[in-house]
Amino acid sequence: MQRGFQAGLLLLLVQLFQEGPGNIPAITLAVLGFNVYLYVFPPAPPLKACMSLDQVYRNKEWRRLFLSPLHHIDDWHLYFNMASFLWKGMRLERRLGGPWFLYLLSVFFLLTGLVYLLLQALMIKLMEGTDSSDPLLEYVQAFSRECAVGFSGVLFALKIVNNHFNPGGVTYVMNIRVSNQFASWVELVLIYLIAPGTSLVAHLAGVLVGQLYTVGPLKTIMEACADMISSDGVTSRQRSYYSFSGYSGTRREYFEEPRPAEDHTSDYSESYISGLTEEEQIELAIRNSLKHREQTRRRETEHHPGDS
């Protein structure tokens, strides 16, 4: 596919090197790279990749559900979506851990497309019996027939989740200070007013999927499915955690029979030690060594009371 000078793609590469590829979590970097690859080597032209109710449901072209989110019209479409994904992905992957973030992306990837199709079907249903002179009919018809591509629906769902973890924060949407609770809704309207060519329905689908996860049953369903396919045979649940060094991962809580208490006063977790400076680690090692030596002397005294 012949393309001219790709300023948006070049700008995206510059931003990646500014962040430092080593500082970007693995799943975020891989998904971003996959989107760039499919932009450079598209598997289908836009008209064969876009998603609409007519094309997917009535024509049975279900592959569009998977092609549409990964297809971008031009380099600037790719840049704005991937720059947004880079910011959201880095924060969410560090908070949730790589496996859960990949699981979340996969579910959002599929659900945003399905909700988009359901919204279009609902609009067509609402148009039945509507007076043709109604001025809103033209807008509803346009929304119900649009054919959308791009990662924006998934991004709106991720934005809802990201803001959910920071309920008291604020977001600047086009230099407008907005509470995180309403930022996605404000951005949804402003983007459509400024760029009417964008898909309002696809963005709305992403917002609804994000709400299903944060305040609806989606998260519970995902956790139940993850527990069902768990191969360790022990009931577990993923918990996100942070170490002082900024690394995030997943911790599992196991429900087992209680064991007798043991003395682990000198044991420290790896995540705790990684958050200490070199001097603090040396001081901790000396303190543990002295404590261990004192405990050894006490045990020897108890076994040989005459040798004081």
Which listed residue (52, 68, 152, 248) is catalytic?
152
When mean pLDDT is compared over 187-201, 202-216, 231-245, the highest value belongs to: 202-216
Contact 205, 116 (CB under 8 A): yes
SS3 state at 109:
helix
Counting every residue written for the chain, the total comes to: 308
Return the number of other C-beta atoms located less than 10 Å from residue 113's C-beta. 25
pLDDT score for 162? 93
pLDDT tops 70 at residue 251:
no
Structure tokens at 167: 């309920």
pLDDT score for 145? 79
Contact 127, 140 (CB under 8 A): yes
Contact 154, 179 (CB under 8 A): no
The residue with greater pLDDT, 304 or 32, is 32
Q: How confident is the model at residue 2 (pLDDT cuts 50, 70, 90)?
A: low
| Mean pLDDT, range 216-230, rounded to an integer | 91
pLDDT score for 101? 96
The mean pLDDT value of the chain amounts to 78
| DSSP conformation letters of 146-204 | --B-SSHHHHHHHHHHHHHT-TT-EEEETTEEEETTTHHHHHHHHHHHH-TTS-HHHHH
Number of H helices and E strands in the chain, helices first, is 14, 4
Q: What are phi and psi of 176, to 5 degrees?
A: -105, 125
Instruction: Dump pLDDT digits (tens) for 73-131.
Output: 999 999 999 999 999 999 999 999 999 999 999 999 999 999 999 999 898 887 777 76
* CA atoms of 161 and 155, how far apart (whole Å): 10
Q: How confident is the model at residue 248 (pLDDT cuts 50, 70, 90)?
A: very low
Segment holding 31, helix H or strand E = helix 26-40
Contact 202, 153 (CB under 8 A): yes
| Vertex 225 angle, CA 223 and 227, to 5° | 70
Instruction: Dump pLDDT digits (tens) for 132-169.
Output: 666 677 777 777 778 899 999 999 999 999 999 988 78
Is there a catalytic annotation at residue 152?
yes
Return the number of other C-beta atoms located less than 10 Å from residue 301's C-beta. 12
When mean pLDDT is compared over 106-110, 135-139, 271-275, 287-291, the highest value belongs to: 106-110
Instruction: Dump pLDDT digits (tens) for 22-78.
Output: 999 999 999 999 999 999 999 888 889 999 988 898 888 999 999 999 999 999 999
Is there a catalytic annotation at residue 264?
no
pLDDT tops 80 at residue 203:
yes
Residue 93 exposed, middle or buried by CB count within 10 Å (0-12, 13-18, 19+):
buried
Q: How confident is the model at residue 288 (pLDDT cuts 50, 70, 90)?
A: low
